[in-house]
Amino acid sequence: MQDEHAIERLITHVRQLNAHAALDFVFVELRVGLTSCKTARARHRLGLDPAPAIEIAEHALKTAEKLMRRFRKNHPVEYRQMVAQAEHLRAELDALKRTNICASQVNA
């Protein structure tokens, strides 16, 4: 009986670790996206092609948005933070597009 309780506690602990790792992954993706937007701007200022950085930012946003829905119910505080960061990232990407930083590569 004691072994069953120990196994149940262990399973619960592993599930919690998995959820925390998934939460961290989404936040990292959002940070990667925002950093990539800064990199795109810097590359543009230096006369380099910003398209690779923009592609990374767009991919990071798509990945984060795909995963963050699963946290809406069980992690509402973190979910709201994710939504706010995703909106910020989307706004940064839109600003890059509006300012015509490499518009042909962004829209390709």
CATH code assigned at 63 = 1.20.1440
What's the chain's average pLDDT?
89
**What is the rounded distance in angstroms from the CA atom of residue 26 to the CA atom of residue 72?**
13
Specify the pLDDT at position 108: 43
**What is the rounded distance in angstroms from the CA atom of residue 30 to the CA atom of residue 76?**
17
Domain count, the chain: 1
Specify the pLDDT at position 101: 64
**What is the rounded distance in angstroms from the CA atom of residue 3 to the CA atom of residue 30?**
41
How many other CB atoms are there within 10 angstroms of residue 49's CB atom? 12
Specify the pLDDT at position 1: 67
pLDDT at 56 over 70: yes
15-26, pLDDT tens digit by residue? 888 888 999 999
Q: What are phi and psi of 98, to 5 degrees?
A: -65, -35
**What is the rounded distance in angstroms from the CA atom of residue 78 to the CA atom of residue 67?**
13
Asked whether 58 and 51 are in contact (CB, 8 A), the reply is no
Supply the range of the domain harboring residue 82. Answer: 2-106
pLDDT at 106 over 50: no
- Residue 3 confidence class, pLDDT cut points 50, 70, 90: confident
Percent over 90 (pLDDT), the chain:
68
pLDDT at 59 over 80: yes
